[in-house]
Structure 1
Amino acid sequence: MRDLSGPEQRLLTKLYEGLVGGQRASLAESITLVETQHPRKKELAQVLLQRVLAHRTVQEGRNGGKPVAFRVGLSGPPGAGKSSFIEVVGKMLTGRGHKVSVLAVDPSSCTTGGSLMGDKTRMTELSRDMNAFIRPSPTSGTLGGVTRTTNEAIVLCEGAGYDIVLVETVGVGQSEFAVADMVDMFVLLIPPAGGDELQGIKRGIIERADLVVVTKSDGDLLVPARRIQTEYTSALKLLRRQSKSWNPKVVRASSHTGEGIPEVWAELESYRDAMLASGELQGRRRAQQKVWMWSLIQENVLRHFQNHPSVREALPHLEERVTNGAISPGLAADLLLKDFASPSS
């Protein structure tokens, strides 16, 4: 990386000082910087991230080596009421003196323009709260790219003093696993619906859940909510435990009446305390850092591979031969990798 110019130094200093000073505008501008695809700006983003990481290390040192923020992932099928749940929980937490940030992982935004902007307009009270920060998902790139920027946005939010980071997965499929790999605790929200409506929830996602919350547990839905709670409590007992320090639980809550919301937060605190005491939370974060590093390596190597002149030249012909059945996909891959690795290319 070449040396920073005067204007670049001033920009990074302004962003860093504003960010650690808790200014939401500086945080938003910093996240925009890490989302950029511009090569030079990506380099500047890494410089800023290093400064923020150093600041966070100092803060954790003052906190007895413990994390300064609690990262919670939230997922659930359509109709689970994620936005309403996040707003009610967020308002309760800011009322208790916490600073709350809400981030999204939404791969569908890569083609549709994103959906958290709709959530942001629904979270009207929370979005106006000076102790809350809501960030829509980036609207370009792959799931890997969206995941990378969300990971880096978490670091920036923590640097800005947000001690609760809520990461919502808006999309379906791999995005839930991506979120589970970047948070301290993974919460699955499910509506009090029948079995058919819940078929879309993959077993693998249920296995990753540290807490299951049956939402909309009020009025006419109270009885089905209790039934779903019983069913999922039984199901969780059959699954392999992820942690030696915590047994996943199923609770009920209503964003409409507020019933069960304080109890949900109490469960989150119990989880955090148990995982911190055992050292598992710190171990999970270290493992996640390694996963994050390798995902970045894979993403960058693939991009370099696809942009390599020899690969770009040979690719159309080899693709045609593969589709015609003239050569196997494996042989084509070997030939392309040979072109990529050749010193003369």
Structure 2
Amino acid sequence: MIHAAPLPALDELVDGVRQGHRATLARAITLVESRKAQHRALAGELLQALLPHQAARQAAGIRVGITGVPGVGKSTTIDSLGCHLLAQGHRVAVLAVDPSSTRTGGSILGDKTRMARLSMDERAFIRPSPAAGTLGGVAARTRETLLLCEAAGYDVVLVETVGVGQSETAVSDMTDTFLVLMLPGAGDELQGIKKGIIELADIVAVNKADGANLARARAAASEYRAALHVLGGREPFWSTPVLTYSGLTGEGIEALWAQVLLHRARSEAAGALEARRSAQQVKWMWTLFDDRLRERMRAEPALRAQWPAIERAVAAGTLSPTLGASRIAALLGWPEL
């Protein structure tokens, strides 16, 4: 007979996270990511117990979201940037979300191998998590993981998103600065300039500005600046800068981080940082509520028995999606949608 592993003691987890023990932090994140009811209950107690400690540390913490098309060099960039931050005395946490297979749900989870230097340093913590189809390219519990990392004393948290065309709003809604990475000379210089993503960008950076690519990177940056001038800025106190750098050589990484710090300083001066984080808290609460509601709906016996037939009718075109939604609501005893 297989017995379930005993739940970790709450006090042990709280103390271990507060002291910055990486092994305990990893266990706490695994607990938060679990979908089991008993784990969720304990995870809620853990996050609540750490809240005062995390809140005291988050004021000085910096949260940066990083996205870009596949092949742009997100992991290489994070490896170089992370090592630069460690040299400045920071403790760096990386929440790297791997793309999950839409067919199998599997995920490669290979980010540690692509961040070789950073992963070897005791002052860094890298947590790869499968996106599992979550909208926005971030794992369902990325925000809770971010809070745990801050409670453990990591003052810079980098969130790497999938960057495969999904909405990046989710990562923007949990970070202070949103960094969009671009490639030089990929045919159309405006590749990747999708209006929805660029409107969220606080900083645009063209990678691989080295060797034979240098001239193309500078030309691409000029094109991006022109496009951003037309689109306008995201915030009244900030004009989105476009930089060139090389994640491979590290050239331009210091200037890139300087822009992150400048954006934070201006956000604080304008009162936007505090307002942004407060709004993020509330929005994330409703996001979690929506997730729990969907799970609860799928767990209802009456709905679980009739859901497949409704889905098949909608897929076949014999039932409109609007009427299908109304029938699901009726099964739950809700008023007509």
TM-score using structure 2 length: 0.90
Change (3 A) 1:193 1:48: same
Q: Does 1:164 align with 2:162?
A: no
- Describe how 1:47-66 pairs up with structure 2 within 5 A: 47-59=45-57
Q: In 2, distance between residues paired with 1:72 and 1:171? A: 15
Equivalent in 99, 107, 111 of residue 114 of structure 1: 107
Q: Is the 8 A contact 1:214 1:225 kept in 2?
A: yes
Equivalent in the alignment of 1:4 = none
Q: In 1, distance between residues paired with 2:331 and 2:40? A: 28
Equivalent in the alignment of 1:340 = 332
- Describe how 1:124-139 pairs up with structure 2 within 5 A: 124-138=116-130
Q: Is the 8 A contact 2:96 2:111 kept in 1?
A: no
Equivalent in the alignment of 1:203 = 195
Q: Is the 8 A contact 2:76 2:115 kept in 1?
A: yes
Q: Is the 8 A contact 1:104 1:136 kept in 2?
A: yes
Q: In 1, distance between residues paired with 2:296 and 2:285? A: 17
Q: In 2, distance between residues paired with 1:145 and 1:41? A: 24
Q: Does 1:250 align with 2:235?
A: no
Cα displacement (A) at 1:133: 0.5
Partner-residue secondary structure (3-state), 1:299: helix
Structure 2: which amino acid aligns with 1:37?
R
Partner-residue secondary structure (3-state), 2:129: coil
Partner-residue secondary structure (3-state), 1:217: coil
Cα displacement (A) at 1:317: 3.8
Q: In 2, distance between residues paired with 1:109 and 1:198? A: 28
Structure 2: which amino acid aligns with 1:129?
D
Partner-residue secondary structure (3-state), 2:140: helix
Q: Does 1:152 align with 2:150?
A: no
Which consecutive unaligned segments of at least 5 residues does structure 1 have? 1-6, 61-66
Cα displacement (A) at 1:334: 1.3
- Describe how 1:188-199 pairs up with structure 2 within 5 A: 188-196=180-188, 199=191
Equivalent in the alignment of 2:90 = 98
Ranges of 4+ aligned residues in structure 1 off by more than 6 Å? none
Change (3 A) 1:307 1:197: farther
Change (3 A) 1:96 1:170: same
Change (3 A) 1:332 1:314: same
Cα displacement (A) at 1:173: 2.5
Structure 1: which amino acid aligns with 2:106?
G
Q: In 2, distance between residues paired with 1:69 and 1:279? A: 16
- CA-based RMSD of the aligned residues comes to 2.3
Structure 2: which amino acid aligns with 1:32?
T
Q: Is the 8 A contact 1:215 1:225 kept in 2?
A: yes
Q: Is the 8 A contact 2:138 2:161 kept in 1?
A: no
Change (3 A) 1:254 1:45: same
Change (3 A) 1:144 1:240: closer
Change (3 A) 1:282 1:147: farther
Cα displacement (A) at 1:275: 0.4
Structure 1: which amino acid aligns with 2:264?
R
Q: Is the 8 A contact 1:144 1:299 kept in 2?
A: no
Identity %: 48
Equivalent in the alignment of 1:13 = 11
Q: In 1, distance between residues paired with 2:246 and 2:318? A: 60
Equivalent in the alignment of 1:22 = 20
Partner-residue secondary structure (3-state), 2:65: strand
Equivalent in the alignment of 2:266 = 274
Q: Is the 8 A contact 1:100 1:132 kept in 2?
A: yes
Q: In 2, distance between residues paired with 1:112 and 1:309? A: 25
Q: In 2, distance between residues paired with 1:79 and 1:241? A: 27
Q: Is the 8 A contact 1:184 1:281 kept in 2?
A: yes
Cα displacement (A) at 1:325: 5.0
Change (3 A) 1:146 1:263: closer
**Structure holding more helix per residue:** 1
Q: Which moved more, 1:164-173 or 1:227-236?
A: 164-173
Q: In 1, distance between residues paired with 2:197 and 2:316? A: 39
- Per-residue CA shift, 1:165-184, capped at 9, x if unaligned? 00001241225222122111
Partner-residue secondary structure (3-state), 1:74: strand
Q: In 2, distance between residues paired with 1:255 and 1:43? A: 41
Q: In 1, distance between residues paired with 2:267 and 2:56? A: 22
Structure 2: which amino acid aligns with 1:28?
A
Equivalent in the alignment of 1:237 = 229
Equivalent in 292, 295, 299 of residue 303 of structure 1: 295
Which consecutive unaligned segments of at least 5 residues does structure 2 have? 1-5
Partner-residue secondary structure (3-state), 1:258: coil
